[in-house]
Homo-oligomer: A and B are copies of this chain.
Amino acid sequence: MALRSWVTSANDAVSDFPIQNLPYGVFRHRERTRIGVAIGDQILDLHACASHGLLAPLSEEIIAACSAHLLNPLMSLGPESWSALRRHLSALLDADQADTQTQGRTEALLVPMRDAAMQLPAQIGDYTDFYASIYHATRVGKLFRPDNPLLPNYKYVPIGYHGRASSIVVSGSEIRRPCGQTKGSNPEPVFGPAHSMDYELEVGIFVGPGNPLGCSIPITEAEQHIFGVCLVNDWSARDIQSWEYQPLGPFLSKSFATTISPWIVPLEALAPYRVAALKRPAGDPAPLPYLASPSSDRDGIDLTLEVYLQSQRMRHTGVMPTLLSRANLRDLYWTLAQLLTHHASNGCNLRPGDLLATGTISGPDEGSEGCLLEKKLNAEPIRLPGGEVRTFLEDGDQITFRAYAEKPGLPRIGLGECTGTLLSPYLPHIHTGS
């Protein structure tokens, strides 16, 4: 029988945060910034747990890491420490294991989620974004190169690029429509608000211990360097992107904002949902040896991903967010381990708290596109409840990602929400013009 928590909201079938999940985040409450663990609709304050002696059996370095204001110290400790802490927290919150006294002492350290403001979970030293969905790469490629959608390197190289760390914001932050250069049919480009605003549905991994500069991380050890996963919306201005991206890749079309969900779900919590990774079609090359995983049936994660849109008009008229797409993490061409190993394969040092995102996750079928750009290939435009039509995002649109893993006999594990509302551009300092 599955574990149950004495925090009753955690046993609710629709909660993202049963006792089997126990994701980490950083929250602000009563002017204090603390590391917490999500359980049902509550947050267990780990700093308070440490100072009240509830973490006493754990090592000093784990207790110190739980008392920090960011998750970087905990991320640096590695999987043995993560497992020890997770087992201990599970016992504290377990309806069967915790005695009345332990439950009482722990209960006093819960903070209702509604009273807390979630923060960025870590200092993100570097942010890297990949391009790991072959369905996404193929659809986007078709728009630019109808006869030759997939470039020759795609099936060999986990393509990625460095993103901007400074403009990563936590779920709920408002997003300003950026200004930038765009090139329409006139000979000259113009500078002004971007028109082709898009979201990108992605999963992020936070790096654990990482590697020293000049060394690499073998594929067999890659998952020991993954602290956990979250949702990522790599907001994109497609009209800025198409004009700026050659030859060095996307830059200002992405760097105005990236939203992440606040809760980092440990890889251990997702263990029951591991599946074989996407099977490479016959004729595709095998991964080069440095990217070849010895395991074959547990390299993927069966995690359903959803995109919802609620326009300003829908919000004002009480219409619920509408589902735009549903995709699955298992459909990536490259696994999370392959992305991490490739990243470090040149000796590039990954540091605790670095964020690696998958790139847009799309499935093979209509309805599984991870961004609006791909939906341009469909015959019909997007019709919202209430009659609005969308090609790209309008000011006031709120985009929400959700993700969950489920399996008969086990409670659902959710990643929580990654949400943001697009605002009109900030103009005072802008010389629009020419």
Q: How far is the CA of A125 from the CA of B166 in the complex (A)?
A: 7
* Chain B residues with CB below 8 A from A160, complex form: 248, 251
Provide the main secondary structure of the chain A interface: loop
- How many Å lie between the Cα of A210 and that of B299 in the bound state? 42
Q: Mark A121-161, 1 if CB is under 8 A from B, else 0.
A: 00001100001000000000100000000010100110111
Decide: B434 and A289 in contact? CB cutoff 8 A: yes
Is A216 interfacial (CB-CB < 8 Å)? yes
**Beta-carbon contact of B252 and A346 below 8 Å:** yes
Most chain B CB within a 10 A radius of its CB, from A180, A181, A251, A350: A251
Residue of B nearest to A141 (CB): B247
Closest Cβ–Cβ distance, residue A268 to chain B (whole Å): 25
A244 and B157 contact, CB distance less than 8 A: yes
Q: Are A161 and B216 in contact (CB under 8 A)?
A: no
Q: Are B213 and A169 in contact (CB under 8 A)?
A: yes
Chain B residues with CB under 8 Å of A375's CB are none
Chain B nearest CB from A225 CB (Å) reads 13
Q: Among B162, B166, B354, which residue has its beta carbon within 8 angstroms of that of A349?
A: B166
Assess the A178–B347 pair: CB atoms within 8 A.
yes
**Can you name the residue of chain B whose Cβ is closest to the Cβ of A156?**
B189
- Contact yes or no, A191 B348, CB < 8 A: no
CB < 8 Å neighbour of A247 from B125, B164, B245, B429: B245
- Give Cα distance in the complex from A430 to B218, angstroms: 7
Q: Given that A153-B243, A431-B218 are known contacts, is A252 also in contact with B343, CB under 8 Å in the complex?
A: yes
Decide: B162 and A433 in contact? CB cutoff 8 A: no
CA of A158 to CA of B256, assembled, Å: 16
- In angstroms, Cα B176 to Cα A161, docked, is 21
**A-side interface size class:** 35 or more
Task: Report B-chain residues with C-beta under 8 Å of the C-beta of A165.
Answer: 125-126, 165
Is the CB–CB distance between A346 and B290 below 8 Å?
A: no
Q: Write the chain B residue with the least CB distance to A291.
A: B191
Contact of A237 with B by CB under 8 A: yes
Give CA–CA (A166, B430) in the complex, Å.
32
- CB contacts under 8 Å to B, within A214-264, are 214-218, 237, 240, 243-253, 255-257
Quick check: B162 and A348 within 8 Å, CB to CB? no
Q: Per-position contact with B for A410-432: 1 when CB-CB < 8 Å, else 0?
A: 00000000000000011001111
A216→B430 contact, CB < 8 A: yes
Shortest distance from the beta carbon of A258 to any chain B beta carbon, whole Å: 11
A342 at the interface (CB under 8 A from B): yes
Known: A246-B151, A346-B255. A213 touches B167 (CB 8 A): yes
In the complex, are the beta carbons of B429 and A216 less than 8 A apart?
yes
Query: B164, B288, B430: which contacts A433 (Cβ < 8 A)?
Result: B288
Using Cβ atoms and an 8 Å threshold, which residues of chain B touch A256?
Answer: 213-214, 346-348
A387: Cβ under 8 A from any B Cβ = no
A163 within 8 A of B: yes
Specify which chain B residues have a CB less than 8 angstroms from the CB of A380 in the assembled complex. none
* Residue A351 lies at the interface, judged by CB distance under 8 Å to chain B: yes
- Look across to chain B and name the residue whose beta carbon is closest to the beta carbon of A151: B246
**Are A179 and B255 in contact (CB-based, < 8 A)?**
no
- Contacts A/B (CB < 8 Å), 17 sampled: A125-B166, A126-B164, A153-B243, A153-B244, A153-B246, A156-B189, A161-B251, A162-B162, A179-B347, A191-B289, A191-B290, A213-B257, A245-B249, A253-B346, A256-B347, A290-B430, A347-B426
New A-B pairs, 14, CB < 8 Å, besides A157-B189, A166-B351: A141-B247, A156-B181, A157-B244, A160-B248, A166-B354, A167-B213, A179-B346, A190-B288, A252-B343, A253-B346, A256-B347, A289-B434, A290-B433, A347-B426
